[in-house]
Amino acid sequence: MHRERPEKRLRKGHFSRFSCAVTIFVLIYIVSAIGAIVYGGAVHFGDAIADKEVLFALRLSSTTAFISTSLCLFLAVPVAYALTYVDFRGKKFIEIMLELTLSLPYILIGIALLILFSSPVGRLLESMGVKVVFTSVGIVFAQLTVNLPFAIRLARTGFASLDQRWQFIAYALGASEMRYFFRIVLPNARRSLTTAFITVFSRAMGEFGATLMLVGITRLKTETLPGAIYLAVSTGNTNMAMSIAIIMLLVSALSLFISNLIGKEKKEGE
Amino acid sequence: MNQEGRTASTLETRESAVSLCDVCVKRGQFILDHISLNIMDGERFCVLGKTGAGKTVLLETIAGRLREETGEVLLFGHHVRSIKPQERGIGFVYQDYALFPNLTVKENIAFGPVSLKRPPDEIERDVRHMLDIFNIGRIQDQYPHQISGGEAQRTALARAIIQKPRLLLLDEPFSALDRATREDMYRHFDRIWRTIGCTILFVTHDFHEAIRFADRVAVLLDGKLRLVASASTLLQGQYEDDVSSFLGLKVADRFCDICDKGEINSEQI
């Protein structure tokens, strides 16, 4: 195996040529789109960032995303653990159901939630003080529902990458399941769980379809960042929309940067 | 010699530590084919085989990590899978150690005793003792990715032995050690074996190691158990062609082996 060989093959191969072409296309397409947004929005970025409404949307989006992501991982981690390490009846069924929800359109999840919470069950909850429809609680709910199967899958990938023999060794050394989970599984999956948190968080920040269905967009009440863009565009305020888009881009860039940082640290650690 | 006499005379009265009866296991490409085996309590038993012969599968089956397809695996008279892993009284050391990467050497060794909630001063004392025996005191605060293969191997051994298991299962336990350290380890193991009186079952591809360290040796070729013999008489038997060629039982080799063994014995005294 010479070092020159893969490089030569890279130049000659049809597949690599094709992938280069697609990459260039995607780059031109995305760079020009993002360029247009940045170019158009940058001028008004100062106004947008000082705007009460935009600030409200930013705060609402980050708060709801943070809460829903925390809940999401809190629920996902034990499920992912069970699916990775424990054999139980109905495991296959759960796996299929989770895969299925992953592929549902978000607007469908949104309308399903709306119907559910408008039903007697929803009214019962409302009488107990849990208002979901048209409130920020609903935003958290929509984000949670959309992201939960995704979070479970991410956490599972993290757990599956651990050495499966550790469980047996820990048990043979007398550890309980809880001790194994908290002392071995969680610390070793820490990095992949952090990455999962960031990924789910940025997805929650961008969640639109299900939120729109369940909560709608009311100015200064249930207006998330994507909602604010939608409102700005529909009222013809394109400049504002582009400025808000820049904020969202910055959030995405930041989360990408942080997860890369964590990935790098992981490589160095090993 | 004296040691063999002891083993022979007391074996009859001991209970069996591991008993496999017609066990078949399939694990990917590894197949164990109708294995029957009886290992006595307190015995040092070696399974000798080439890489890929199914040695690790055999150990994991005995430990109850893999499910046997047919036959039964008994551990001190009980079905292994009917006992909780925590109560099987086994220590397992993998060939690639499988240390917990988020714990230091010291924490790895202390993992078992802490799990059992033993008193802290007792844990501290035992861990110190292990660090001394295995000569890894100076790396006690390092993490597994910072230490050498030999050090990791000794850490894994210490982590298993500190629990004083009834049955110690070792997968190529000394393979990452250089010859001098290995000799050292054999001596330590002789001592450990005498003090905690556990049964030791280890697998290796190293012929010398098997003879040096075991009371009895079994040869595993392609998932089949081909022979079980006392370590001292292993070289004198007449075997089928593939077994003898695996054992290297050509006249010249045998001569060397006997010489080697002679050296080791004199060193031991």
**What are the domain boundaries of chain A?**
53-269
pLDDT bin (cut points 50, 70, 90) of residue A3 is very low
pLDDT digits (tens, 9 = 90+) for A75-125: 999 999 999 988 888 899 998 988 888 888 999 999 999 998 888 888 888
Looking at CA atoms only, how far is residue B165 from chain A in angstroms?
A: 9
Domain that holds residue B243: 2-42+50-86+203-268
* Residue-level pLDDT at B183: 85
d(CA A158, CA B110): 26
Residues of B in contact with A166 (CB under 8 A): 98, 100
Q: What value does the mean pLDDT take over residues B83-107?
A: 93
pLDDT bin (cut points 50, 70, 90) of residue B173 is confident
Res. A188: pLDDT tops 50: yes
Q: Which residue of A has its CA nearest to B83?
A: A172
Q: Does residue B108 sit within a domain?
A: no
Residues of B in contact with A169 (CB under 8 A): 92, 94, 98
**A44 against A193, higher pLDDT:** A193
Q: Does residue B127 sit within a domain?
A: no
* Residue-level pLDDT at B7: 46
> DSSP assignment of A15-36, as one string?
HHHHHHHHHHHHHHHHHHHHHH
Q: What value does the mean pLDDT take over residues B198-215?
A: 88
Do residue B102 and residue A187 have CB atoms under 8 angstroms apart?
Answer: yes
Residues of A in contact with B91 (CB under 8 A): 172
* Residue-level pLDDT at B6: 44
> DSSP assignment of chain B, as one string?
-HHHHHHHHHHTTSPEEEEEEEEEEEETTEEEEEEEEEEETT-EEEEEE-TTSSHHHHHHHHHTSS--SEEEEEETTEEGGGS-GGGS-EEEE-TT----TTS-HHHHHHHHHHHTT--HHHHHHHHHHHHHHTT-GGGTTS-GGGS-HHHHHHHHHHHHHTT--SEEEEESTTTTS-HHHHHHHHHHHHHHHHHH--EEEEEES-HHHHHHH-SEEEEEETTEEEEEEETTTGGG----HHHHHHHT-SHHHHHHHHHHHHHHHHHH-
Res. A1: pLDDT tops 60: no
Q: Domain holding B249: CATH number?
A: 3.40.50.300
Q: How far is CA A80 from CA A203, B158, B239, in A?
A: 19, 32, 52
* Residue-level pLDDT at A208: 93
A183-202 residues touching B, CB cutoff 8 A: 183-184, 187-188
Do residue A184 and residue B91 have CB atoms under 8 angstroms apart?
Answer: no
Do residue A163 and residue B163 have CB atoms under 8 angstroms apart?
Answer: no
Q: Does A182 touch chain B (CB under 8 A)?
A: no
CB atoms within 10 A of CB A256: 13
Res. B164: pLDDT tops 50: yes
pLDDT bin (cut points 50, 70, 90) of residue B26 is confident
Residues of A in contact with B108 (CB under 8 A): none
pLDDT digits (tens, 9 = 90+) for A132-179: 888 889 999 999 999 999 999 999 999 999 999 999 999 999 999 999
pLDDT digits (tens, 9 = 90+) for A36-65: 888 888 888 888 888 899 999 999 999 999
Q: What percent of chain A has pLDDT over 70?
A: 93
Do residue B86 and residue A172 have CB atoms under 8 angstroms apart?
Answer: yes
Do residue A174 and residue B112 have CB atoms under 8 angstroms apart?
Answer: yes
Res. B5: pLDDT tops 60: no
**B257 against A231, higher pLDDT:** A231
Tell me the angle at which helices A190-206 and A238-269 cross, rounded to the nearest 10 degrees: 170
Do residue B111 and residue A166 have CB atoms under 8 angstroms apart?
Answer: no
**B39 against B5, higher pLDDT:** B39
Q: Does A11 touch chain B (CB under 8 A)?
A: no
Q: What value does the mean pLDDT take over residues B20-28?
A: 88
pLDDT bin (cut points 50, 70, 90) of residue B2 is very low
Q: Which residues of B touch A (CB under 8 A)?
A: 63, 65, 84-86, 88, 90-92, 94, 98, 100-103, 111-112, 115-116, 145, 159-160, 163
Looking at CA atoms only, how far is residue A79 from chain B in angstroms?
A: 23
ipTM of the complex: 0.84
Q: What value does the mean pLDDT take over residues A17-43?
A: 88
Q: Which residue of A has its CA nearest to B89?
A: A172
Do residue A172 and residue B91 have CB atoms under 8 angstroms apart?
Answer: yes
pLDDT bin (cut points 50, 70, 90) of residue B8 is very low
Q: What value does the mean pLDDT take over residues A1-27?
A: 73
Do residue B116 and residue A174 have CB atoms under 8 angstroms apart?
Answer: yes
* Candidate from A172, A176, A269 with C-beta closest to B88: A172
Res. A68: pLDDT tops 70: yes
pLDDT bin (cut points 50, 70, 90) of residue B1 is very low
Q: What value does the mean pLDDT take over residues A202-226?
A: 91
* Residue-level pLDDT at B251: 46
Res. B196: pLDDT tops 90: no
Looking at the 3D structure of chain B, how many domains does it have? Answer: 1
Res. B3: pLDDT tops 50: no
Residues of A in contact with B100 (CB under 8 A): 166, 170, 183-184, 188
Q: Which residue of A has its CA nearest to B164?
A: A173
Res. B19: pLDDT tops 60: yes
Q: Which of A30-34, B65-69, B90-94 has maximum average pLDDT?
A: B90-94
**B230 against A9, higher pLDDT:** B230
Looking at CA atoms only, how far is residue A189 from chain B in angstroms?
A: 10
Q: What is the mean pLDDT of chain A?
A: 88
Do residue B98 and residue A187 have CB atoms under 8 angstroms apart?
Answer: no
- Length of chain B equals 269
For the entire predicted model, the pTM comes to 0.82
pLDDT digits (tens, 9 = 90+) for B231-269: 888 877 778 888 887 877 644 455 555 555 555 444 443
Res. B41: pLDDT tops 80: yes
Looking at CA atoms only, how far is residue A98 from chain B in angstroms?
A: 28
Q: CATH 1.10.3720.10: does it fit domain A53-269?
A: yes
Q: Which residue of A has its CA nearest to B116?
A: A174
* Candidate from B90, B101, B116 with C-beta closest to A188: B101
